[in-house]
Amino acid sequence: MTTDLSEAPDLPAATDAGPELQPSTEDSPAHQAMTLLAQHRLVTTTQMQQMVMPGAARQSMSEVLNTLREGKLISYTVLARSSTLRAWYLTPRGARVVAGWPELRGRPTQPLGGSVEASLRAAHTLTVVRTHLAFLTDARARGDEYGPLDWVPEVAHRLPDTGGEDKLIADAVLHYAATAPRRLQYRAFVEVDRTTMSSERLARKLISYARFHDYTAPGPGRRNTVADQAAMLAWQRFYPRFPRVLFVLTGAGDDALRRRINDLRAMVAGHPLVTQLAGHVPLGAAVLEDLERHGASGPVWRPLSGTDEPRSWMDL
C-alpha cells in the first residue's frame, strides 16, 4: 500500500514549534562547589552554603556535597572540638576534574593530602574564608559587585634579593567594585592574623609590602640597577594600582588586638621604607568580629598612618 504524500497533513515548520531550548548559562551548585574548593582549598558546609546557596536550607548544600563525595570528587575532615562540623576539600580526582576550568585558569589546583593535612590547615584556612564571607555578606547588602571567586587566597609575588625573604605571600587578594554613590574598583592585599605569631613579626609584613612596592624587576639579562628604574615596577605587571593593605585580626581579647594594631602603626611611623609606602598606599586594620557585627564596609577600620579615627576600608 502506498501513501499519497500530497494528502499527508502539514507538519509545523521548525520555526513554528516555539523557541529552541538553550542550555543554562548558570553553573550548577555542584560546579560552583568544586570551583570554590579549588580556590579556597578547605570550606565548611555552612561557609559553602553562604557562598553558593545563601538563604537556602543547610540540608540543600549538604546534599550537593554528599553527592560529590559519593563520586569521589571531594572528601571532608571533622574539625577538632566538634563531632559534626565538616570541612570539605578536593580529592586528587576532583583536582583533575577542575583542572583547566575557565574560572581557575592561572591558578594551579593543589589538593590536600587527606583528612590529617586538612585538619592541620583548618584553623587558618577557615578563618581566611570567614574573613572573605564578611566582605561577601556586606557586598550583597550594599548591592556591590563582589562574588565568591573575587577573593583569591595565597597570592605570591617575588621580592628583591636582599638576603632576606624572597617572596611576599598575601593571605588573599580582594577584587571589589562598589556601585554607589559612583562606581569604583578596589583591590586589596589582606592579611589575616589569628594572634599566633608575635606582634613584631606581624608588623614586619609591612616591610615586605614596602619592598614589593619599590621593586623593579630586571628584564632578561639585566640587573636591577639605577639604570633600570625607568622599567616597569614589578607590581605593575599584575595590578593597575598598588592594592591597599588590610590587616584583619582575631583570636584574642580587645586590649590585645588593640595593642597589635598600635604596633602596626608604630612600624609605619618608625620604618622609613614603610613610611614611604604609607604615603602612596592606604593601610588599615580591623577586628574580624567587628567586620561581622557592623559590616566590612562599616567604620571599623583604623588607618595605620595619620589620624586614628575609624572609617570604612574604602575611605582609608
Per-residue pLDDT of 203-223, as tens digits, reads 999 999 999 999 887 655 555
Specify the DSSP element, H or E, that contains 26.
Answer: none
Q: Which residues contact 119 (CB under 8 A, 6 or more apart)?
A: 77, 79, 80, 87
pLDDT at 3 exceeding the cut of 60: no
CA distances from 200 to 14, 156, 204, 205 (A): 72, 22, 6, 9
Half-sphere exposure of 95 (CA within 13 A, CB side): 17
315: alpha, beta or left, given left = phi > 0 and alpha = psi -120 to 50? alpha
Which three three-digit cell numbers place residue 116?
A: 590529617
Distance in angstroms (rounded) separating the CA atoms of residues 316 and 311 = 7
Residue 267: per-residue pLDDT: 95
Q: Which residue has the higher pLDDT, 183 or 163?
A: 183
Q: Which residues contact 117 (CB under 8 A, 6 or more apart)?
A: none
Residue 57: per-residue pLDDT: 83
Question: What is the crossing angle of helices 45-52 and 58-70, to 10°?
Answer: 110
Per-residue pLDDT of 219-253, as tens digits, reads 555 555 554 555 678 999 999 999 999 999 999 99
Give the neighbor-by-neighbor strand order of the sheet with 86-90.
43-44, 86-90, 74-78
Q: Can you list the alpha helix ranges (DSSP code H) found in 41-190?
A: 45-52, 58-70, 92-98, 115-142
**How large is the average pLDDT for residues 96-107?**
86
CA distances from 107 to 14, 98, 169, 173, 186 (A): 44, 11, 14, 13, 21
**How large is the average pLDDT for residues 267-288?**
95
Angle at 257 between CA 254 and CA 261, to 5 degrees: 135
Comparing CA positions, the residue from 294, 278, 201 lying closest to residue 245 is 278
Residue 259: per-residue pLDDT: 95
Per-residue pLDDT of 104-133, as tens digits, reads 887 777 778 788 888 888 999 999 999 999
Residue 287: per-residue pLDDT: 97
Residue 247: per-residue pLDDT: 98
CA distances from 16 to 10, 23, 299 (A): 12, 20, 59
Per-residue pLDDT of 25-42, as tens digits, reads 777 899 999 999 999 999
